[in-house]
Amino acid sequence: MKDETRQTLMLLVEKANRLKSFKFDEHVKQVGLGFKGTRNDDDEWIIEFGLPDDEKIDIFILTFRFFYQDGESISFSSLRRFLNDPELSSEWKDGVSKSRKAYFVYLKGYSVYTVELFEGHPSRHEILDTVLYGQATHANPEKLKRLKQWTADGIRANLLQQEFTGMLVQILVFIKYIGELSEHELALKPA
């Protein structure tokens, strides 16, 4: 195995294991992503949303972006360059290829319940880009403007946060899988 390939797979395994160690998916499961409505004494609705801690999201996305951001060596986009590497097993290449395909199909898809709330019928990819690059990891002016429109009221802001969180958890499934494949691949071909 080429040194560059080995270093990339080692980084991938390290970052995937780091994401697993945060137990973000378990935290989300414990908190839940639902909501409940109750009426107060004045007969007004009070809606409470299940949302993860902001600090847990911030910590998670700092490492998550390695897999999402195109310029990173272990991003889903960048992993394509290894799919024709003759030194990698067909098991690794097939697994990563299928995982990448599922990842990109997922990102091109649309949210079931937030689609009517946000201007322009955004895909999951657009939602992730808007939240990540509008505020969470960068301050892109265009994405920040869109984020402010989408979060103009508390209900939409909370629904967007729930959708964003659900996407992180789903993409974590893909990340864990390619992390396990890469760990196995490195074990098969020690340095």
Of the pLDDT bands very low, low, confident and very high (cuts 50, 70, 90), residue 29 is confident
Alpha-carbon span 79 to 73, nearest angstrom: 7
Q: Which of 33-42, 140-149, 151-160 has the lowest mean pLDDT?
A: 33-42
Alpha-carbon span 116 to 113, nearest angstrom: 7
Half-sphere exposure of 108 toward its Cβ, with a 13 Å CA cutoff?
6
Of the pLDDT bands very low, low, confident and very high (cuts 50, 70, 90), residue 138 is low
The pLDDT mean for the chain works out to 86
- The answer on pLDDT for 174 being more than 90 is yes
> Tell me, what's the pLDDT at 93?
97
Amino acid sitting at position 169: V
> Tell me, what's the pLDDT at 31?
60
Percent of the chain with pLDDT over 70: 84
* Rounded average pLDDT over 106-117: 78
> Tell me, what's the pLDDT at 72?
96
> Tell me, what's the pLDDT at 34?
54
Q: Where are the domains of the chain?
A: 3-188
Alpha-carbon span 61 to 58, nearest angstrom: 5
pLDDT tens profile 45-81: 655 655 666 788 888 899 999 999 999 999 999 999 9
* Rounded average pLDDT over 29-51: 63
pTM of the model: 0.85
- The answer on pLDDT for 85 being more than 80 is yes
